[in-house]
Structure 1
């Protein structure tokens, strides 16, 4: 099959061999997958059938280099499925997912291949390997063993069946969440229904209605629509309507995920049981920084003990404020929190999104975020129209180092659309590796759902949206700056509970005057953000730190609960409520649930891993404390962070890399100081 027949399978004749999106048809994907699977299987067979004694180079390194065509097709398809997928792509994903799972199983469970890998692994103490080669050897062996390579007979076949069913259900779970999210709209035509909403929120809602050929103000469950409505609408009944719609997604009806999520949890338990583990968490955590569920619970419980009393005081303060504001007792419900806490924040700090947004014009924010990377690491971002993009809203940049050496491509995709799933994420169209003296550089994309431009007004971001941009950009830097030899260790291919360090580290700059001064200009007057406003941002940075932490702990504990089961769950709703009772800060709302829409753990990669966000917060607070000590733009410190964290990918144990940068293991004290839980 030639490129003329299928552009996904040939050489890309584009700048930096970027993906030629414009010539790829949706009918190209399935045959491309089939051919790429065939090619990969041939590559595996050539490793298995060779007569030479197994060595690191002819087995481990060659295995890492195999499957590049399949990796290319998969990266393109699944990245677009999340960012710009339609029903036809969803249907293709349902057909191709079992094939990919079966192909993956055929490699993992290939006895002759595993014998070769195991043979090299058993010689590891006598081999002259670099630290990266040692890591690749260990990861290759342990990954295959963890995926059933040591299983025999019926257990092998059972593993295949379980993994195939699991891949189909996780895909279905995510698609149900997307469809349920897109199925709800609230069109307001009465001015009384708009009470409390700022002009910018109403403009965005009117613009959205107009785009869909409707009169009035259209609100939906996408973040740029849902979050401002919940924060500013004084119509408590409509806030409740929105809250219930958002938190009842996939709880009933044709997109009901209840049976799916219970079965996903059961399948994971059965897989763990096959591997001799008492539950899925122990199976998943063995090769993470946390190592086991005891250490995860230790972190979550220590944080809960420290932060919950603070959260309860914060809620009481908001309750008193709400009662005073309304002149009567208003028992706080979940749909009241954003509204009244925002009002209190405004009263305490004279600070809200409407005050800040004029200083956060998207184009200027981009300049500031990119400029931060230039200041820290010497890299620059050059927009290039010759690089094809998959949607008119997407922009592509060549990324260059301080010597104008090409180091990668970055795609940015900022605004919501019906074909894009909710949230924000970074992924890659192509990873990085070194082969035959050539450094093949990465193509990275960051995808978000930020406030759109409305009419003549540019996209003005909220504080949280700028923070999210910094977060995903941190992931992008991890992917772009990597300098590894092997594909499976480069970039963000690190332990799940280490991957959030580079992203959350970047968020620390959001409260730094010297950073905000580089880009925050009023979109109309060009005036820099006032010093007074920066001081308010800094002062408000600890606002509701207790509540925000406990909310994250809720998700972490729920994730751990689902992945420490040792028998099927009969009542998913009761199971959830029991699992998070210790973090419950508001009355339970009947007909709502977290689990049914919890894509991170049921359709993403965070099963028994959501704790990683708090784990990484401990790391990033500790890491940034060194920058505070040396200077937030200190070149020496930034170079050390780049060389020991960003460039190294998963080439060494993450704690080794972290200690090399920081000089010691992290503790929770820096995080608690940053959040104001304990004094500096």
Structure 2
């Protein structure tokens, strides 16, 4: 029998800067490594729980923080590859990995001896001489155990464990269905079908077809990059409709039907919440958020909803007038909106989206993000070609401070591949912490931009919205890289869900600034057009986002034992008065944020965080310098570095000296007076 310690996945990472050795990673090593790492962690938990000494912060809470190091490495490495480089071997074991991790987590929460120690430390936290960040860690640990079912009766614990295991399996299946449905469809075009498409998009489509042995053809996929670009520029209305229907119909019936998964997921979430003493899943999910309850979140969304609808109606009327002026003879439909909105931007603001993209090479936008972080926070990013990623498109960057001190390691993975989940995200392979020395973070960024043909992948052209996405995810990376906390559970992005999007939304402001756009060689008249056009289309963007948020909140507040989710969503959209020519940004059958991610009942977080971001950026504007060094230093120290070592409202107050101004979001979205 092979010695488990020989398994490379169980070894500390010995690459430069503590990088994982991806070349040694084999799919078949994951399950044995997980088995061994869970066993090691179980032994550590048993040792903590079985101590005879009275429970203290150090021998219980801090000991828990130190435990499970090997398991954390295996777990993070697996989910990194599962989301961004999912081989058939990885896909085959996803469900089992998820189930084992879920069962292990529940077993820890239900360990009575351990729970007694955690609760004892919690009861004495105010009289134990603990500093504020330690008290917060005790309180969050205590809450985590309660939310994990620690206080339930034995029979209820058993049911809780069964629910948790089933939800884990359903989440994996949901995500795999979306991935499979997306990969299974392609819009196969000939040269005659390309009218209106930018050259860069045609090149990418030709490259995909050629890779499948169909030279001379052009393949448009269901990746959002292709979807947005094609609906914006294609002059073929019939093909726009074909693509829109294929995109929005994914997993809505057929082989990859996700509606049964959604129905069961909602029912189980509801049952788990009630088991834990909550009225519904939304109240359970939002208890530790900034909003604290769904009523507060809904209130903010409704402040945006009606003004957004009124502005969207104005925009729709304008687009319909444009269609009528061209004798189109049809009513504005969802597959028309982006195309005619682009015509308005060209006519009113002289903004040509394709002309903008011509300046936004991927390598230049990536460098602009680095340069922005250098001016704001004194960071330097150096390519490390000697550090291999998990794919040739993945590049490693050493991150240092202005004094040359080590900050961390960043991987960037920006190009679309069939084995990647859709969308864009940031993740951590190792989090910053300082319990027993200075542990530097290893973080990664993933996107799905349509790649230019090799060899010059850096020539991939981005739309302004894609460039904004790159800056958004880079904001998450800075949150992870600049963390300066003691305990790993409080590190970087481990904050309230409706606060975690704050640093990322905040970072988006710089990509549309004159200072950054000029660096791409964008002509001044085009910069003016981009800036002016920022106000246009906010009705559409607001309705698309807030509609998702309101329906997500509503469906997770249902208390009926059984709900037909398809009928519920349709009825809720009707009740809200959702403009049919806009619709939700994410239809439920592929809404991975809430069914295969951490945003259930919390998709509102994007708008909530945007309110914080709008207020914070106004402070920079008021100084006359969006790179103001004093404000940037405060943002780094009070927001990016603090992690979850204190309440997020305390962090915001420490940054600006006051509570957030909710009206800043109305101003940022140009909805004042709508």
TM-score by length of 2: 0.97
Structure 2 match to 1:343: 343
Secondary structure of 1:564 counterpart: coil
In structure 2, relative to structure 1, the CA distance for the partners of 1:456 and 1:47 (3 Å cut) is: closer
Contact 2:424 2:447 in 1 (8 A): yes
> What CA distance in whole angstroms lies between the structure 2 residues aligned with 1:385 and 1:3?
31
Secondary structure of 1:435 counterpart: coil
Cα deviation for residue 30 of structure 1 reads: 0.5
> What CA distance in whole angstroms lies between the structure 1 residues aligned with 2:474 and 2:562?
39
> What CA distance in whole angstroms lies between the structure 1 residues aligned with 2:228 and 2:537?
17
Contact 2:231 2:339 in 1 (8 A): yes
In structure 2, relative to structure 1, the CA distance for the partners of 1:283 and 1:333 (3 Å cut) is: same
Contact 1:206 1:218 in 2 (8 A): yes
Secondary structure of 1:632 counterpart: coil
State yes or no: 1:545 paired with 2:544: no
Cα deviations by residue, 1:32-91 (Å, 9 ceiling, x for unpaired): 110110011111011011111100010011111111111110100001110010222111
In structure 2, relative to structure 1, the CA distance for the partners of 1:35 and 1:4 (3 Å cut) is: closer
Cα deviation for residue 569 of structure 1 reads: 4.3
Structure 2 match to 1:445: 444
Secondary structure of 1:414 counterpart: strand
Equivalences for 1:162-241 in 2 at 5 Å?
A: 162-189=163-190, 191-215=191-215, 216-241=217-242
Structure 1 match to 2:156: 155
Structure 2 match to 1:313: 314
Secondary structure of 2:460 counterpart: coil
> What CA distance in whole angstroms lies between the structure 2 residues aligned with 1:87 and 1:23?
17
Structure 1 match to 2:593: 600
Secondary structure of 1:296 counterpart: helix
> What CA distance in whole angstroms lies between the structure 2 residues aligned with 1:222 and 1:663?
42
* Structure 1 residues not aligned, in runs of 5+: 521-527
Equivalences for 1:200-349 in 2 at 5 Å?
A: 200-215=200-215, 216-325=217-326, 327-349=327-349
> What CA distance in whole angstroms lies between the structure 2 residues aligned with 1:186 and 1:460?
21
> What CA distance in whole angstroms lies between the structure 2 residues aligned with 1:628 and 1:2?
60
More deviation in 450-459 or 358-367? 450-459
Contact 1:248 1:593 in 2 (8 A): no
Structure 2 match to 1:669: 663
Structure 1 match to 2:423: 423
More deviation in 5-14 or 467-476? 5-14
> What CA distance in whole angstroms lies between the structure 2 residues aligned with 1:11 and 1:225?
40
> What CA distance in whole angstroms lies between the structure 2 residues aligned with 1:394 and 1:545?
34
Contact 2:178 2:256 in 1 (8 A): yes
Structure 2 match to 1:613: 606
More deviation in 297-306 or 163-172? 297-306
> What CA distance in whole angstroms lies between the structure 2 residues aligned with 1:12 and 1:234?
51
State yes or no: 1:384 paired with 2:384: yes
Cα deviation for residue 570 of structure 1 reads: 4.5
Equivalences for 1:556-571 in 2 at 5 Å?
A: 556-571=549-564
Cα deviations by residue, 1:612-649 (Å, 9 ceiling, x for unpaired): 00000100000111111122101000000000000000
Structure 2 counterpart of 1:655, from 649, 653, 657:
649
> What CA distance in whole angstroms lies between the structure 2 residues aligned with 1:68 and 1:676?
47
Structure 2 match to 1:363: 363
Contact 1:3 1:11 in 2 (8 A): no
> What CA distance in whole angstroms lies between the structure 2 residues aligned with 1:597 and 1:105?
28
Contact 1:401 1:407 in 2 (8 A): yes
Contact 2:28 2:89 in 1 (8 A): no
Cα deviation for residue 584 of structure 1 reads: 1.2
Contact 2:372 2:510 in 1 (8 A): no
Contact 1:450 1:465 in 2 (8 A): yes
Cα deviation for residue 330 of structure 1 reads: 2.1
Structure 1 counterpart of 2:525, from 520, 532, 543:
532
Cα deviation for residue 668 of structure 1 reads: 2.4
Contact 1:557 1:580 in 2 (8 A): no
Cα deviation for residue 127 of structure 1 reads: 1.8
> What CA distance in whole angstroms lies between the structure 1 residues aligned with 2:511 and 2:264?
41
Equivalences for 1:10-49 in 2 at 5 Å?
A: 10-49=11-50
> What CA distance in whole angstroms lies between the structure 2 residues aligned with 1:587 and 1:537?
25
More deviation in 448-457 or 423-432? 448-457
Cα deviation for residue 510 of structure 1 reads: 2.3
> What CA distance in whole angstroms lies between the structure 1 residues aligned with 2:201 and 2:371?
29
In structure 2, relative to structure 1, the CA distance for the partners of 1:268 and 1:4 (3 Å cut) is: closer
Equivalences for 1:567-606 in 2 at 5 Å?
A: 567-581=560-574, 582-586=576-580, 594-606=587-599
Cα deviation for residue 235 of structure 1 reads: 1.4
In structure 2, relative to structure 1, the CA distance for the partners of 1:583 and 1:623 (3 Å cut) is: farther
Cα deviations by residue, 1:218-239 (Å, 9 ceiling, x for unpaired): 1110123222111111211111
> What CA distance in whole angstroms lies between the structure 1 residues aligned with 2:325 and 2:562?
44
Contact 1:231 1:339 in 2 (8 A): yes
Contact 1:251 1:593 in 2 (8 A): no
> What CA distance in whole angstroms lies between the structure 2 residues aligned with 1:353 and 1:411?
29
Secondary structure of 1:448 counterpart: strand
More deviation in 567-576 or 121-130? 567-576
More deviation in 507-516 or 39-48? 507-516
> What CA distance in whole angstroms lies between the structure 2 residues aligned with 1:493 and 1:103?
20
Contact 2:201 2:450 in 1 (8 A): no
Cα deviation for residue 3 of structure 1 reads: 7.8
> What CA distance in whole angstroms lies between the structure 1 residues aligned with 2:601 and 2:148?
16
> What CA distance in whole angstroms lies between the structure 2 residues aligned with 1:571 and 1:3?
47
Contact 2:304 2:666 in 1 (8 A): no
In structure 2, relative to structure 1, the CA distance for the partners of 1:484 and 1:318 (3 Å cut) is: same
Secondary structure of 1:677 counterpart: coil
Cα deviation for residue 351 of structure 1 reads: 1.1
> What CA distance in whole angstroms lies between the structure 1 residues aligned with 2:454 and 2:149?
56
Cα deviations by residue, 1:478-500 (Å, 9 ceiling, x for unpaired): 00000000011001000000000
More deviation in 448-457 or 276-285? 448-457
Secondary structure of 1:444 counterpart: strand
> What CA distance in whole angstroms lies between the structure 2 residues aligned with 1:679 and 1:68?
54
Structure 2 match to 1:509: 510
> What CA distance in whole angstroms lies between the structure 2 residues aligned with 1:469 and 1:359?
15
